[in-house]
Structure 1
Amino acid sequence: MNSKHYLIINVLLALSLTACTLPKAPVSPEMKRINNQQEELVEIKETQGKLLASNEKLMAQVSEWKKSEANVHRLVAIEEELNLLIQQLNTITKEAEKAPAVSKSNANETRSASQAQPKYMLQLASLNNMYNVNKTWSELKAQQPALLQDLPAYSQQVEVNGKTYYRLKVGQFSSKSQAQQVCRQLTQEKVSCLLAPYSGSAL
């Protein structure tokens, strides 16, 4: 290798060493701003993704509530109705206990008259207007004609906690056992019913 080659090699080595020792160029403020904006954009996208997932979860919960809302309101109405019916039945029982005793000579006549007089009905529904009362009665008769076709239907307007309800009632039963027997038959056919005092207006 001649001296010319040595010279070229030394020059190249010197240049490479010089390049390694040169200080890095400082990052400009504009570049820093761009980098910061990019980092903020990444954080914003991550936050948006989390918010979107949270919103979807919330919407799913709202959808589930809407599905069950009607059932919840119906259960609340039924509970209010049950409490009112219990109060009415308790009142009937107390009045019967306070009634004066009858003599044996009049017992048979009194028993015959009470048997002929209806005391109980079956409540099938509690609705928010008369249109729904008539509609529900037509639907129930179509579903269970054998059990309901021959039973007279009645409606009764009541106020429960400031709300107006219209009860759909059927039957004219002189004894509790008769009413309970029919109610059991209806329950077996998936028709809900409650024992109720005889009252209301004919449909």
Structure 2
Amino acid sequence: MTLFARMLILRGRPFQLFIEDICRDVYRSDPKWKIILLRYFNPVGAHPSGKIGEDPSGVPNNLMPFVQQVAVGRRPHLTIFGTDYKTKDGTGVRDYIHVVDLADGHIAALRKLDAPDIGCEVYNLGTGKGTSVLEMVTAFEKASGKKIPLVKAGRRPGDAEIVYASTAKAERELNWKAKFGIEEMCRDQWNWASKNPYGYSSPDAHNGTK
């Protein structure tokens, strides 16, 4: 029996740990189970073809969809929450991973499930490197040729200062490592956004008309 799960990571709520505990309990109840849990960090970018990309419904809940919507003119500016962190430029630092690398991580995990007696294992899928909000914005501006207007705001409750992955276990046991840097992430995100400024829908749908 196998189980392949990804983590639900919501700010301030340890749902991912709850899911991991459930899966460990399942394995303890019956060691025949083979379980792999993947901890996603911050997926960004798009397929290099520009045909598949992120199109969140409603208000996005992470950085890069906001950035791309500003770049294509759907939003007037990007709000940065917290500019006084103890980081190189005062903005929060996160581990961003290209969606293609993330997909490759899933394939590596599925292959691992073919091995005997793997038990219940958890792997981090990230680059192992931290990038600040301003660094991501600058990289996107370079990739797109667009200036992203910024508005500074206070910190949001529950936001961490610096978060990035330890990927050594995934590299060692899954034979997987992220290949793409923030330049490629922003290049592919802009390629998608510039070709599909309204995602998979039409401008009329976003304007509330038929």
Normalised by the length of structure 1, the TM-score is 0.26
Could you say which structure has the higher helix fraction? Answer: 1
Normalised by the length of structure 2, the TM-score is 0.25
Task: Give the greater-gyration-radius structure (CA).
Answer: 1
If asked which structure has higher relative contact order (CA below 8 Å, sep 6+), I would say 2
